[in-house]
Structure 1
Amino acid sequence: MTDTLPDRLSVDPRSPHHDEALLKRGIGIRFNGAEKTNVEEYCISEGWIRVAVGKTLDRKGNPLTIKLQGKVEPYIKDEPPEQG
């Protein structure tokens, strides 16, 4: 398995950007320099993350999310993050 992370990744199994094997390894997200733990989806090239808004659900039972713009830095948790 490669250590390169995809440009876009989602935790929703219905998404075409979902990768179960990669998510099992553990993905961490640094957004604008701060660690985020509630990220539902990210896109590096477009510079955004989608985060859950509390415990609120939409009418289909999915977490309600908002899109935040900024610098996205994903890393694999089962190895130490790069020092930069």
Structure 2
Amino acid sequence: MSEETTSQTPPDHLSVNPKSEHFQVDVLKRGVGIRFKGKQRTDIEEYSISGGWVRVQAGKTVDRKGNPLTIKLNGPVEAWYEDLGEDTPVAKAD
């Protein structure tokens, strides 16, 4: 991918948890749209496009430290920046 295309598509792996090594506040501020198995989702905690999985919170259950418990779902993942408007480049596995 060219540098311009790379800056217009979200990273391959991203997390909303500040303790994660895949947390990127600048990317999250832009707003990232996620489509999982063809359906747009807003409840994604973490995703990996190349790995083909997302993590979502498992109800209201939390661990003993108060962090939400998540489950890993496998399937095709697509991501895009919401601030680019219509016809935005979409990052997806080839």
Q: Structure 2 length as normaliser, TM-score?
A: 0.80
The amino acid across from 1:60 in the alignment is K
Structure 1 counterpart of 2:16: 11
**Runs of 5+ unmatched residues, structure 1:** none
Following the alignment from structure 2 to structure 1, what is the Cα–Cα distance between the partners of residues 41 and 87? 17
| Cα distance in structure 1, aligned partners of 2:86 and 2:71 | 26
After the TM superposition, which residues 5-84 of structure 1 pair with which residues of structure 2 at under 5 Å, given as runs? 5-80=10-85, 82=87
Distance 1:42 1:81, change over 3 A: farther
**1:78 match: secondary structure:** helix
C-alpha separation between the residues in 2 aligned to 1:9 and 1:73? 12
Structure 1's consecutive aligned runs of 4 or more residues displaced over 4 angstroms after TM superposition are: none
Please give the alpha-carbon distance, in whole angstroms, between the structure 2 residues aligned to 1:70 and 1:63. 22
C-alpha distance after superposition, 1:21-72 (max 9, x if no partner): 1101111110010011110000011100000112221111111100000000
- What RMSD over aligned residues (CA atoms) do the two structures have, in Å? 2.0
